[in-house]
Structure 1
Amino acid sequence: MSGHRVQVHPSIDGIGREWDVLMARARAPVFYRRPFLRAFERHPLHAVQRVAYILVTDARGRPLAGLPAYLHQGVDPMRVIADHFTHARGRPVLLSHVWHCYDTVLPVRPGEERAARTGLAALREVAQEWGAALYGMANVDAAGPLDRLLARQGLHGVDIDVGWGLSLPRFTGYDDYLASLRGKPRRNLAHDLRLAARDGVRFRRLPAADADLDGFVRLARATAAKHGNSDYYRPGLFQDFVRALGDDVEVLELRLGDRLVCSGLALLDDTRYHFWACGFAPMNGYSAFYAVFDHIMRGAFASGRPWVELGRRNPVFKRRYGLTPRTLTARFAETR
């Protein structure tokens, strides 16, 4: 690891274009791109006490690895700390990434995996300096190389959730994907699409600046209330955050007359089409969610990206529609 240099920045805009180059080379998810990080700085979707952006370079200043880190205290919407790291409950923890990220990685320039260990050592040092009880990462793919690296570095892991997605190149297109489904799920989808068309439900795909984000938050909070998690979408703050994402987000709206009945947010990066969030109203005899799912999948195939990501939760539906599960872990270590 000799020759590596570590920079710790308090703001993403304190780092130049080298961050963007690194994230592109590492094919990092949208959650690591400058628009998302800047939006979270300006409009934090949950409380953070301090922020650090750790950048590992070589002696010439070439970026090799980077990760954001957030100091939390008492913020645990998925009850990861409360249920699995109880001795740290209510104490400060240093976490990468934020809880709204379900796709945690450690972006590394290809061929420079040793720099990842330097980044983790820097994460531990920041945790020590800031008085965190724990440091680590949540929502890591349990079958991926990062989970194995974290284990080798002594971070204790627990399974916390399941993420769902689908590799698109295995299909010739959306119709081929539909043909791969069992008969009943295919018929259910066609049934709900037919009833939505009968009622005159209209679809729009549009940028955040032109979307009804107040309507999205209203629907999303009502949908999240079923899981006791409405404040995942804090009114005012969430709309400002989404607008700050710029071209990295698109909004999918379903309207019945003048009424917004379903709204979803898709996040975009180089390799993934993320169905990030959704809210929908009850309909007469069918689900608006099925209709927006149809448009999400069509949009994912049309985008040319190789993977569509549908996040966590709702496993029955996602299994029924052929999505691939992956176990997500949290790995933490005590700060010494």
Structure 2
Amino acid sequence: MDYTVRVHTAIDDVDERWDDLMTAARAPVFYRRPFLRAFEKHPLHPVLRTAYLLVEDGSGRAHAALPAYLQRDVDPMRVIAEHYPHAAGRTALLSHAWHCYDTVLPVRPGPGSRSAAGRAVTALRDLASAWDAGLCGIVNADAASPLDAQLTEAGFSGVDIDVGWGLTLDQYTGFDDYLTRALSRKARHNLRHDLREADRAGVGVRTADVGDADLDGFVRLARATAAKFGNADYYRPRLFQDFVRELGDCVHAVELRVEDRMIASALTLTDDTRLHYWAVGYAQKDTPGYSPFYVSYAHVMREAWASGRDWVELGRRNPSFKRRYGLQPRVLRAYFAEG
């Protein structure tokens, strides 16, 4: 099949064919219009230029797509610094944004899917050349996905950069079944202990939509949590709140409070098949007898089963905790080609 690639510079310049393709491809929330529009209006990291590559057949039907961002000196996870240090200071055209830990190449299922995916990859390299990018790539992709072979064949070098974690929800009847069958006796005891102690301490829990969530409180807690890893500006004040508000109905906050004091806040994102435990901030002290991080985790996992989704996604980092709590790992890989 012959394909044409069109390059758009704003998501709202692309009509409903984008949304139809993302639904057909079961693409994660990071590829849906609300997230892309929010990132355009309130970029969570600096972007020089934005592109949406749409692969179409002769009738105009979309078969594959990629968002891509031209950037310079943006490396919050230190992927380029550690694996391509000689590219520091050069421009890079990358897909997806760094705040996406679930990078895919959305392709319409069918006999022409591999060809359409290949056309999108070629178009990404062509655009990098046209924009004089020193580095071109796809980051945070599942190393076990078909994308690995496609990118390797296209001349991209893959490097393992992190591990993503998640859980298939329908293998358990609910949160209590998960505690019983997935966790060791010690891990199960510790989590139930923290939930009991939080209840005794009068911790209240609520799930709030974006219009009612305390986003200022979330950013305060999240920055303090991230500061332990030298990455507080992953949550830039005002910018992050504005971005989250733009997401609309696909984002919720699970908030924990003692009286009027918020001690933890977790942001969840949803798409057709997944609930994403996207971000969390929590108090570092003054919660004797229980961990607000563990209590927050338990309530988000309850939300995951209540959502009716197939999978809960818990992103990157904190491997000791995630392994202990029965989550499933997958290697995340970055694929780079130099200009």
Q: TM-score range by the shorter chain?
A: over 0.9
Aligned residue for 1:141?
142
Equivalence for 1:304? 308
Paired position in structure 2 for 1:205: 207
| TM-score, normalization by structure 2 | 0.97
SS at match of 1:247: helix
Instruction: Note the C-alpha offset of 1:252.
Output: 0.5
Which letter maps to 2:88?
R
Tell me the distance in 2 between the aligned counterparts of 1:77 and 1:90.
14
- CA distance in structure 2 between the aligned counterparts of 1:238 and 1:138, rounded to whole angstroms: 22
Does residue 173 in structure 1 map to residue 177 in structure 2? no
C-alpha separation between the residues in 2 aligned to 1:229 and 1:208? 24
> Does residue 333 in structure 1 map to residue 337 in structure 2?
yes
Q: In structure 2, what is the equivalent of residue 103 of structure 1?
A: 102
Counterpart in the other structure of 1:32: 31
What amino acid is aligned across from residue 288 of structure 1 in structure 2?
A: P
Using the TM superposition, give the Cα deviation of residue 113 of structure 1 relative to its aligned residue in structure 2, in angstroms.
2.2
Tell me what 1:292 maps to. 296
Q: 1:74 aligned to 2:73?
A: yes
1:192 aligns with 2:194: yes
Q: Could you tell me which residue of structure 2 aligns to residue 269 of structure 1?
A: 271
> What is the CA–CA distance in structure 2 between the aligned matches of 1:6 and 1:66, rounded to whole Å?
9
Moved more, 7-16 or 144-153: 144-153
Aligned mates of 1:164, 1:40 — CA distance in 2:
24
Q: Could you list the runs of 5+ residues in structure 1 that have no partner in the other structure?
A: none
CA distance in 2 between partners of 1:232 and 1:285 (Å): 30
In 2, Cα distance between the equivalents of 1:149 and 1:4? 17
Cα shift at 1:45:
0.3
Q: Take 2:219 and 2:175, find their aligned partners in 1: how far apart are those partners?
A: 29
- State how far apart, in whole Å, the 1-side matches of 2:212 and 2:149 are: 43
**Runs of at least 5 residues in structure 2 that lack an aligned partner in the other structure:** none
Deviation at 1:285, TM superposition (A): 2.4
SS of equivalent residue, structure 1 residue 46: coil
- Distance between the aligned counterparts of 2:281 and 2:148, measured in 1? 32
How far the C-alpha of 1:208 sits from its partner, in A, is: 1.1
Deviation for aligned residue 1:176: 1.1
One-letter amino acid matched to 2:66: L
Please name the residue that 1:157 is paired with. 158
Deviations 1:13-52 (A, max 9, x none): 0000000000000000000000000000000000010000
| 2:138 partner amino acid | M
**Distance in 2 (alpha carbons) for counterparts of 1:168 and 1:76:** 33
1:256 is aligned, of 242, 255, 258, to 258
1:114 corresponding residue in structure 2: 115
Work out the number of aligned pairs and report it.
334
Across the aligned residues of Structure 1 and Structure 2, the Cα RMSD in angstroms comes to: 0.8
- The answer for the alignment partner of 2:228 in structure 1 is 226
- Runs (4 or more) in structure 1 with deviation over 2 Å come to none
The aligned residue for residue 133 of structure 2 is 132
The equivalent position to 1:235 in structure 2, one of 234, 237, 257, is 237
The one-letter code of the counterpart of 1:90 is G
Is residue 7 from structure 1 mapped to residue 6 from structure 2 by the alignment?
yes
How many Å apart are 1:221 and its aligned residue? 0.1
Structure 2 residue matching 1:210: 3-state secondary structure: coil
